[in-house]
Amino acid sequence: MISQKLNDQITRIGPNTDAGAVHRCYWQPAALTDEMTPDMKKLPVNLLGERLVLLRAEDGTLSLTARVASPGEAPTFHPAQEDLHPVEGAPIYPVVEKNGIYFAYLGEGTPPAFPNFDCFRAPDSHVFAFKGLWECNWLQALEIGIDPGHASFLHRFLQDEDPEDSYGKQFRDKAADTNMPVTQVLREYPCPDIEVEETDFGLKITALRHMDGELTHVRVTNQIFPSAICIPMSREMIITQWHVPVDDENCYWFTMFTSFDQPVNKQLMREQRLKEHSLPDYAPLKNKSNSYHYDPEEQKTQTYTGMGLDINVHDQWAVEGMGAIQDRTREHLGRGDAAIVRYRLMLRRAIKAVAAGQFDRLPMQNQEGTARIIGPLSNDAVTDSADWQAASWQYDMTRRAACPWDASV
């Protein structure tokens, strides 16, 4: 458990807050490119506790600045185009487009370089981007994503689907080169050993599920500082997901789905996700107001939660159920929370570094070094328990060697 003062320090992100100052040292997803149609010149954006407007100049240049907003405006309110008025004299923030997402830099000075992550260097044809709203603080949304053990319970499927029908769905594919669905691995081996190591971009998190026959299921995921994760979705795809603060009590997840094989079927993946969300705010149709469509009959025979087959809904229920801001003064972390503990230590170090003006001590703040960061490696592998590290690496190298775009590391 931690003190209330520390909980406030690491969760609150508005102007003049400690964690907010850290976030403002990094590019933040601001909107999907799909949200700003060619005929639009303005788009409302709510980010890091600020009410902003994305502007497109006549030459196509994009920028972000503060907009006029009423004090009681809802955090995801979308004013009409004619009601979007920039605040005169407000700072102008730079914006760049990366594979379907507009990123904005709300900090001071020169923006940092982008790392050469797979989701950024893959061609547009091999990346699909989407987002969704969660009504909770950004940190609890991130922390569920860096907990490898939760998938064996929260995302437990009592029946395994045909992996051939797994496209666009997480945890439905086969585990590496076996005939065992990932859902079966997670269900039958629920207590992984977890290894965590710091990297130049954040954390590398390895979950080891020791199976029968001296085999080990190796799942490598990553925390990308300050608010993103990179995890395997299938043998073909990885997910890079940012948990972006709207304000202290709401956040958006922005996700890039990156394919190492065939071009992404963007129409199908968008249709799959629009069935679960409403526009223009990308709010989930399953939510607190309708108990996330909880079905006790389904819970008996199909899923651990009884809340459908979309694992985003399972995560949403878990993090929103903690309250708008999780009360960490009452928690008791254990061995399975190793990545959460390491991340909070990183965040606290970053807060101290920013307060001292030592920005070079933050991950990915060196321009030349950041631009050379590649990967991160993220995959599922099943291998001999004695040599799981080499086998996991080789599995990733084999996938990259066969990739139609340059995915070399």
Ordered per-residue pLDDT tens for the chain, 409 residues: 899 999 999 999 999 999 999 999 999 999 999 999 988 999 999 999 999 999 999 999 999 999 999 888 988 899 998 999 999 999 999 999 999 999 999 999 999 999 999 999 999 999 999 999 999 999 999 999 999 999 889 999 888 766 555 554 565 566 666 677 888 888 889 899 999 999 999 999 999 999 888 889 999 999 999 999 999 988 889 999 999 999 999 999 999 999 999 999 999 999 999 999 999 999 999 999 999 999 999 999 999 999 998 989 999 999 999 999 999 999 999 999 999 999 999 999 999 999 999 999 999 998 889 999 999 999 988 888 778 888 889 989 999 999 999 999 8
Determine how β-strand 116-117 pairs with β-strand 374-375: parallel
pLDDT value at position 185?
86
Q: Tell me the pTM.
A: 0.94
Identify which of 49, 222, 226 has the alpha carbon closest to the alpha carbon of residue 139.
Answer: 226
> Looking at residue 176, what is its pLDDT?
62
pLDDT at 386: 79
pLDDT at site 284: 96
Domains of the chain plus CATH, in order, are 4-24+113-401 (3.90.380), 27-111 (2.102.10.10)
